[in-house]
Amino acid sequence: MTRPSFYITTPIYYVNDAPHIGHVYTTVACDVLARFKRLDGFDVFFLTGTDEHGQKVHKAALVAGTDPQAFTDKVSQNFRDILPIMNITNNDFIRTTEPRHKAACAALWEKMKENGDIYLDKYAGWYAVRDEAFYGEDELTDGPGGVKIAPSGAECAWVEEESYFFRLSAWGDRLLEFYDKHPDFIQPESRRNEVLSFVKSGLRDLSVSRTNFPWGVPVPGDEKHVMYVWVDALTNYITALGYPDERSENFRKFWPADFHVVGKDILRFHAVYWPAFLMSAGLKPPKCVFAHGWWTIEGQKMSKSLGNAISPHDLVARYGVDATRYALLREVPFGNDGDFSHGNVTNRINADLANGLGNLAQRTLAQIAKNCGGKVPACGPLSEADRALLDHARIRMLPAVRIELDAVRIHKALEKIWDVINAANAYIDAQAPWTLRKTDLARMETVLYVLAETIRCLALIVQPVIPEGAGKILDQLGRAQDRRTFAQIDAAYALESGTLLPAPQGVFPRIETDEKKAAG
């Protein structure tokens, strides 16, 4: 039987800067979805990479006094190096300076041209290098010294040059029709309205080539032009599947993408320009563009000049990879803006990982080691409370989590899992197996069995978010590597009484709070 396919992408990151918490946020979120789908039986393609052309990267290379190719080689490697540190399971890493990508861009360009959507003219207007975006006069405000400022806060400069244009103005009605037919194309819902009103207000043709710097993919047949970096960048999503070979196995299997996950800053490029380019080239638009919110740091915008960008290396050194992944996704509803604070992260890790899941596993496994000879306990007749907990973990949890993740409500999916953890911690307190040890050994074994089974289901389902810790718990429950998919949450794969288990050990350490450190 062929497995259903699932294609998810992160934005490709500009190589003008070191990777920071904002970049890994998107990548970790996509990794959670990719891992979840794999464990749920899907054939997954998960793509990330680096965006290496354009004026912004060219400028950064000039400032560094390096040739642009050597510069992008170095910085792209920093983005690649962060992936194993964050435990990311991408299937491919694309660089826009690769030959396969240049070939895909040229082919897409030719198709749009054949369709009559590309013409040569002159561009005169505002451009923000920081955003690599053109802005209309009406979108700008006056900054200090008369500088024009884009809605993003980026400074704009006046540009006049010969340029190829994409006939975007002709695509407005077809885009609106497409949004209408695909109500889930833009998520979350609130962002959809923003895009709709932009398109309804009338689209201007888009300048899609530049001539005043050389660092880009040459325009086929007119090599003094390089393609506008966003045409180049967006194409990465099909390059990686083998485009222009539309009959390649991966292209047929994975296009259109299930999710392009992006920050809200680049929604317009993905939800307006990209589907127009694709439709013009006779290709299907992606199924969904999901725009998440923006992180600030302890109340401030993250910026190079403030020097407050948080390095993922530092976070992992301080909290560990699982706790970092968990805290990023649990603190803020996915889609909303959030403020990063070490205090909140520490509290979250201690409450949910150390006291919640960690403590549940630790006290259950320690009692099994001490009072059941280190073997999976026997399971006697089940009480109503036993059944309620087991049904919650084995039957109700996965469908509930699936619904939330299919809608990319990652925080809600975590809530559904933690509902079971909280129920299990309440159950252990109510059943008090440590007291049963003195009064009713058979009942104590049943209670510990129910808990071990619940922990098995929990460890299976948290693997996408906290893969290391989940793996350690599954090791301590003696689960073989080939018994860790979601289909095996089912009771048919329950723990077998009498199986000898390895010695238990703590999985999620408590993080000392700053106040405690100071007091100590």
CA distance 498 to 507: 24
Query: Of 231 and 511, which has the nearer Cβ to ligand ME8?
Result: 231
Q: What number of helices (H) and strands (E) belong to the chain?
A: 21, 18
176, two tokens: 């609106």
Among 87-95, 230-238, 454-462, 464-472, the segment contacting ligand ME8 (CB under 6 A): 230-238
**With contacts defined by CB under 6 A, how many residues of the chain interact with ligand ME8?**
19
Task: Give me the phi and psi of 123, to 5 degrees please.
Answer: -100, 130
Beta-sheet strand order (sheet of 295-297): 300-301, 295-297, 338-340
Residue 14 in contact with ligand ME8, rule: CB under 6 A: yes
Q: Tell me which residue has its CB nearest to ligand ME8.
A: 22
486 binds ligand ME8 (CB under 6 A): no
Identity of the residue, 50 or 364, whose beta carbon is nearer to ligand ME8 in the bound complex: 50
List the structure tokens of 520: 């100590």
Nearer to ligand ME8, 96 or 250 (CB): 96
Q: Nearest approach, Cβ of 324 to ligand ME8 (angstroms)? A: 15
Q: Does 22 bind ligand ME8 (CB under 6 A)?
A: yes
Cβ–Cβ < 8 Å for 79, 13 = yes
Q: Of residues 41, 244, 256, 263, which one binds ligand ME8 by CB under 6 A?
A: 263
Nearer of residues 20 and 416 to ligand ME8, judged by Cβ:
20
Please say whether the beta carbons of 128 and 230 come within 8 A: no
Segment near ligand ME8 (CB under 6 A); pick from 20-28, 33-41, 101-109, 119-127 = 20-28
**Contact region for ligand ME8 (CB under 6 A) — 23-31, 118-126, 136-144, 404-412?**
23-31
Contact pick of 6, 23, 206, 386 for ligand ME8 (by CB under 6 A) = 23
**Region 266-295 residues binding ligand ME8, contact defined as CB under 6 A:** 266, 294-295
Helix (H, G, I), strand (E, B) or coil at 165: strand
The structure tokens listed for 3 are: 């497995």
Written as one letter, the residue type at 6 is F
CB atoms near residue 473 (< 10 Å):
27
Nearest to 135 by CA among 120, 118, 153: 153
Cα separation values, 84 from 79, 81, 193, Å = 10, 7, 37
Among 51, 258, 404, 453, binds ligand ME8 (CB under 6 A): 51
Q: Which of 76, 89, 85 is nearest to 13 (CA)?
A: 76
d(CA 218, CA 315) in angstroms, rounded, equals: 40
Exactly one of 106, 186, 233, 410 binds ligand ME8 (CB under 6 A); that residue is: 233
* Candidate ranges 137-145, 205-213, 257-265, 472-480; the one touching ligand ME8 (CB under 6 A): 257-265
Min dist CB 128 to ligand ME8, Å, is 12
Name the residue nearer to ligand ME8 (CB basis): 123 or 237: 237
Tokens of residue 184, six digits: 């889930």
Residue bearing tokens 């289909």: 487
Site mask for ligand ME8 (CB under 6 A), range 291-320, x = bound: ---xx------x------------------
Question: What amino acid is encoded at 5 in this protein?
Answer: S
Q: Per rule CB under 6 A, is residue 471 in the interface with ligand ME8?
A: no
Q: Which residues bind ligand ME8 (CB under 6 A)?
A: 11-14, 22-23, 25-26, 51, 233-234, 236, 262-263, 265-266, 294-295, 302
